[in-house]
Structure 1
Amino acid sequence: FWKMDGLGVHEVIIETPHHHKDFDNLSIGNIVLILKTYRQRYLDLSKDKRIKYILIFKNYGIDGGASLEHPHSQLIATPIIPQRIKEELKGAKEYFDLKGRCIFCDYIKREIKSKNRLIKETEKYVAISPFAARFPFETWILPKCHSARYEETSDNNILSLARIMKETLFRINKKLNNPPYNFIIHTAPPKEFSSREWPDLDKKYHWHIEIIPRLTKIAGFEWGTGFYINTTSPEAAARILNSI
């Protein structure tokens, strides 16, 4: 069998000294510090040439996979690009090669125009219930201005991101009775590596945050096929989250 060394990094990011404060109950200033910490860890670990991908995520609640009660996020850096990310990169490249445009930028424009799945729009970001949502109330937050890399987000844009994240998570918690959830930041691989393996990636990919409330279980059909059964349409989810 082919194998490789188990190289990587795993960090726990403590979000607040307060033991029982959920993310949406933190102050904007506190969330800004968290998001800036994410950015700094991306920038620092991207210097390590052995690292091919850096994933930051949050598990909230027992069913969300949280193993520590104190509010925290996690970072895991790996020596390979995860398959899910590869598929996103490949899809973005194929669309760009065909259309000459970023698929995420086109997607954002269409969702803003239709408004059917739009949860929140600000000057710099949108929160959307994605058209092909895998899970009930799955929500994506995307920057409206094209950007492939979270770590290049300016201080001003991080402030705007903190506001829309707080508002979006507040709506999810209010409407769904404080559900367990995960959020994940999907961003481009470190620039030095991706410039060799994925030329012009900065034109083709678009970083975003995926929020997944854990309201249903993944069972045999999902594991066996990779298809997901979503019992709540994204249009219905957006209407419910917009009713606050």
Structure 2
Amino acid sequence: MSQLRWDPLKMSWVIISNERGRRPRDYILERQEVSLTACPFCYGREDKTTHEVFAIRPDGSRPDTSGWQVRVIPNKYPALRIEGNLDKRGIGLFDAMNGIGAHEVIIETPDHDRQLADLTPIEITNVLRAYRARLMDLRKDPRFRYIIIFKNHGVEAGAGIPHSHSQLMAVPITPPVATTQLSVCREYYGRKERCLLCDILRQELETDERIVRSNEEFVVLAPYASHFPFELNIIPRHHSHDFALLTDQELGILAEILKDTLLRLRSVLRDPPYNFVLHNAPPMHLRLGKPAYWGSLPYDFHWRIELVPRLTKIAGFEWGTGFYMNPTPPEVAARFLRSADPTVVY
């Protein structure tokens, strides 16, 4: 029999459909490919992009030249632009403001044929260092209420350029998904004086049904109410509200477990398209009339990386109800991923 499960963090119901019982082989897709005559993210084509705002250059080379390992540039066609004022205004019953924000691309490697899973832990650490550096820089701007870092891997997941890259967007309002999770965490802490995600993590470690991998700093698990098959969370084992506070050593440990997780997904699902999102604390800017607005944030919020293979599509039922249907129970997904050999090349 199928089962309805409640997600206390996202405030939503999920239908776990045991009767369908789909296994990894049922999700293997004929992947779409994008061919480029000349990739703008490759070595030697730095003049084809916008000017870099950050780069890791071990050889000390000049900006906007070859010699980089990770390079961050403003998106050439940004959804939001950094110049200008917000100009918040009402239009009858509606609200509007100017499209102010930041939209950046983190080019993860100069090698066109290597994906994030192919990089060494040291190389992935450098990608994470770039995330941290851009978060710390952009959060200084009081116009930005939230900064999201995400990665689309594969055409099916929204990647228009096959060269491995992530994106960052800073927005002038707190997005609805973040607002829900921030509010839930704050309300839970207000009642129990404990972090919701810490409690979830403690319970998951005790039952051990949905744990895929763990080390001294991070835990990889399939959420109890997974919205999608093989959905995963990478969560700090110890309470931490802000990714930007991680040390280089902690970033290295995260890089190792992130690589292992991506290789397990590749082994089990034959390199599926996926999205991952860094759910992090918002910039703690003071709000007029709300002096204690973020007062409990370091105690009640717990950052995490959400990693979702794009194996199923959202259809009318999901749009119409807000319920999601997952045909592979997270316990089953975790079991397949736990037993996977990340060194296997299919």
TM-score, normalised with respect to structure 1:
0.98
Q: CA deviation at 1:192?
A: 2.5
Determine if the alignment matches structure 1 residue 240 to structure 2 residue 336. Answer: yes
The within-5 A match list for 1:170-185 is 170-185=263-278
Amino acid at match of 1:213: P
Report the counterpart of residue 123 of structure 1 in structure 2. 216
| Counterpart AA for 2:231 | E
1:99 maps to what in 2? 192
Residue 203 of structure 1 aligns with which residue? 299
Separation in 2 of the partners of 1:149 and 1:63? Answer: 30
- Shift, 1:191, TM fit: 2.1
Secondary structure of the 1:197 match is coil
2 CA distance for matches of 1:197 and 1:82?
Answer: 16
Aligned residues: 244
When structure 1 is superposed on structure 2, of 102-111 and 133-142 the one drifting more is 102-111
Secondary structure (helix, strand or coil) at the match of 1:216 reads coil
Structural mapping, 1:46-195, within 5 Å: 46-193=139-286
Spell out structure 1 runs of 4+ moving beyond 4 A: 193-196
Contact 1:127 1:139 survives alignment (8 Å): yes
**Residue deviations 1:205-241 (CA, integer Å, cap 9, x gap):** 0000000000000111111121110000000000010
Query: Does residue 221 in structure 1 map to residue 317 in structure 2?
Result: yes
1:3–1:135 distance in 2 versus 1, CA, 3 Å: same
- 1:171 offset after TM fit, Å? 0.3
Aligned counterparts of 2:330 and 2:296: Cα–Cα separation in 1 = 32
How far apart are 1:112 and its partner, in Å?
A: 0.9
Structure 1 residue matching 2:326: 3-state secondary structure: coil
Residue of structure 2 in register with 1:31 after alignment: 124
- Following superposition, the deviation at residue 193 of structure 1 comes to 4.4
Contact 2:223 2:231 in 1 (8 A): yes
- The letter of the residue matching 1:137 is F
* Whole-angstrom distance in 1 between the partners of 2:187 and 2:272: 36
Residue 5 of structure 1 aligns to a residue in which SS? Answer: coil
Alpha-carbon distance in structure 2 between the residues aligned to 1:37 and 1:102 = 28
Q: Aligned partners of 1:42, 1:164: CA distance in 2, in Å?
A: 21
- In 1: Cα distance, 2:305 partner to 2:316 partner: 27
Inter-CA distance 241–193: structure 2 relative to 1 (3 Å threshold): farther
For residues 38-94 of structure 1, the C-alpha deviation after alignment (integer angstroms, 9 at most, x for no partner) is 000000000000000000000000111001111100001100010000000111111
What is the rounded CA distance, in whole Å, between the counterparts of 1:8 and 1:29 in structure 2?
31
Which is helix-richer, 1 or 2? 1
Tell me, in whole angstroms, the C-alpha distance in 1 between the residues paired with 2:286 and 2:149. Answer: 18
Using the TM superposition, give the Cα deviation of residue 196 of structure 1 relative to its aligned residue in structure 2, in angstroms. 4.8
String of CA shifts for 1:163-207, please: whole Å, max 9, x gaps.
010000110111001100000000010123487533211100000
Separation of aligned partners in 2, 1:198 and 1:135: 31
Residues 52 and 193 in structure 1, CA contact (< 8 A), matched pair in contact too = no
> What residue ranges of structure 1 are gaps of 5+ in the alignment?
none
**TM-superposed deviation, 1:24:** 1.0
Distance in 2 (CA, whole Å) between partners of 1:175 and 1:21 is: 19
* Contact 1:58–1:72 under 8 Å retained in 2: yes
C-alpha distance in 1, partners of 2:292/2:318?
Answer: 35
Mark the structure with the bigger radius of gyration: 2
> Residue 186 of structure 2 contacts residue 296 of structure 2 at CA under 8 Å; is this kept in 1?
no
Q: Quick check: 2:115–2:163 contact (8 Å CA) kept in 1?
A: no
Would the aligned equivalents of 2:284 and 2:294 in 1 still touch at CA under 8 Å?
no
Aligned alpha-carbon RMSD (Å) = 1.1
* Structure 2 SS opposite 1:185: strand
**1:58–1:184 contact (8 Å) kept in structure 2:** yes
- SS in structure 1 opposite 2:191? helix
Higher RCO structure (Cα 8 Å, ≥6 apart) = 1
Contact residue 173 and residue 179 of structure 1 kept, 8 A: yes
Give the partner amino acid of 1:152: L
SS of corresponding position for 2:282: coil
